[in-house]
Amino acid sequence: MVIEVKYLFCSYFCAMQILDGKIVSQAVKDAIKIKTAALKNAGKKTPHLAAILIGNNGASETYVASKVKSCEEVGFKSSLIRLPDNLDEVALVTAIEQLNSDSDVDGILVQLPLPKHISEATIINLIHPDKDVDGFHPMSVGKMVQGLPTFIPATPYGILLMLQHYNIETKGKHAVVIGRSNIVGRPMSILLSRNAYPGNCTVTICHSHTKNLKELCLQADIIVAALGIPGFLKADMVKENAVVIDVGITRVPDDSKKSGFAIKGDVDFINVAPNCSYITPVPGGVGLMTIAALLMNTYNACEQKNIGPN
């Protein structure tokens, strides 16, 4: 409620604009839905996403459920493979190999994090690059770095779609990315520096060992906060009219919620928003775009199959 009032206040009195993940992700999904219906009408194969969920992690359950629901919304087929927490690596390898060889499956995602006894790198490497809709396989990453067509990791891809939707200028801007994970920070830094739109930024990538973070953030025209520390980016770290993208999703205890927790981003939204030109809210920002981008990747994976020799 407080945030909603703040949105209203800002929309009347500030130049700041909310980057609305709900609106943009819906636009992306609507376009995918139309294209999927056209495939169906033409008697072609429609996209099929297979998700593997291991154990009962509450957040992972929620993410996978919304991915499956979004597949239904746009007319994709989806399969959810649930495996127990204590499974051995061989069982997971077998499940992935089956999906790799199933010609009906276009995209495979293994919801992270994995149980500690299973190597993420081994599992990611096993997914066939043609079905790697999360874009984490070394082949996909290598192609992305070289600017070749490939699957782009869903969160940075969703952010690019958001910047594009709002026609935000990125050329020549200084972008600071906070966080260097393989799924968000590092690919984001590469994509923002590429010779394309959105891109052509001068990028600084910051991490837990960066000494002068505040100083660097104050030089940034665009800040992508992806570190997982709620409210980390404060108003005194952000220059006037910066574009602020909040990737963070952390569950914090909140007795006023039925669930017992609230979702918080990495940005101190209430105090940072009034000085920005654009900012994403949490929830309602990047999270929704991540799912939309995953659907785009899955659609493209299927389209590759549909573009066969006549």
Choose, from 6, 29, 106, 111, the residue flagged as catalytic: 111
State in angstroms the smallest separation of the CB of 260 from ligand NAD: 18
Single-letter amino acid, residue 2: V
State yes or no: is 67 an active-site residue. Answer: yes
227 binds ligand NAD (CB under 6 A): yes
Q: What minimum distance in Å lies between the beta carbon of 205 and ligand NAD? A: 9
Q: Where are the alpha helices (DSSP H) in 247-285?
A: 269-272
239/241 Cα distance (integer angstroms):
6
Q: Among 54, 71, 178, 292, which residue sits at the site for ligand NAD (rule: CB under 6 A)?
A: 178
- Distance, in Å, from the CA atom of 146 to the CA atom of 120, rounded to the nearest integer, reads 24
Taking the least distance from each CB to ligand NAD, the nearer of 46 and 248 is 248
183 touches ligand NAD (CB under 6 A)? yes
Alpha helices in the chain (DSSP H): 2-13, 21-41, 58-74, 89-101, 120-126, 138-146, 154-165, 185-193, 213-218, 269-272, 286-306
Torsion sign across C-alpha atoms 168, 132, 80, 58: negative
Separation CA 180–CA 185 (nearest Å): 4
The span of 36-44, 204-212, 216-224, 255-263 binding ligand NAD (CB under 6 A) equals 204-212
Amino acid letter, 243: V
One of 20, 106, 132, 134 is an active-site residue; which one?
134
Query: Measured from the CB of residue 171, what is the shortest distance to ligand NAD in angstroms?
Result: 25
Q: What angle do CA 282, 283, 287 make, to 5 degrees?
A: 95
* 111 included as an active-site residue: yes
Examine residue 248 and tell whether it contacts ligand NAD (CB under 6 A): yes
Query: Which residues ranging from 5 to 64 are in contact with ligand NAD (CB under 6 A)?
Result: none
Tell me the window of 1-9, 165-173, 224-232, 294-302 that interacts with ligand NAD (CB under 6 A): 224-232
Choose, by CB under 6 A, the member of 49, 114, 175, 206 that binds ligand NAD.
206
Instruction: Judge whether 255 counts as a catalytic residue.
Output: no
Interface with ligand NAD, residue 286, by CB under 6 A: yes
Residues 141-160 that bind ligand NAD (CB under 6 A): 155
Report the residue number, 74 or 293, with the smaller CB distance to ligand NAD. Answer: 293
Q: How far is the CB of 227 from ligand NAD (least distance, A)?
A: 3
Binding part of the chain for ligand NAD, among 47-55, 159-167, 203-211, 235-243 by CB under 6 A, reads: 203-211
Q: Which of 185, 187, 198, 199 binds ligand NAD (CB under 6 A)?
A: 185
247 touches ligand NAD (CB under 6 A):
yes
The residue from 6, 20, 29, 67 that is catalytic is: 67
Q: Does 107 bind ligand NAD (CB under 6 A)?
A: no
Question: Which tokens in the block code for residue 260?
Answer: 């017992």
The residues, any chain, with a CB within 8 Å of residue 199's CB and separated by 6 or more, are: 170, 171, 191, 192, 193
CA–CA separation, 218 vs 222, rounded Å?
A: 10
Q: How far is the CB of 123 from ligand NAD (least distance, A)?
A: 16
φ and ψ at 108, to 5 degrees?
Answer: -120, 130
Crossing angle of helices 138-146/185-193, nearest 10°? 30
Angle 220-225-230 from CA coordinates, rounded to 5°: 130
136: Cβ contacts below 8 Å, ≥ 6 apart: 124, 127, 153, 182, 183
Please report, as ranges, the residues that interact with ligand NAD according to CB under 6 A: 155, 178-181, 183-185, 206-208, 210, 213, 226-229, 247-250, 286-287, 290
Catalogue the active-site residues. 67, 111, 134
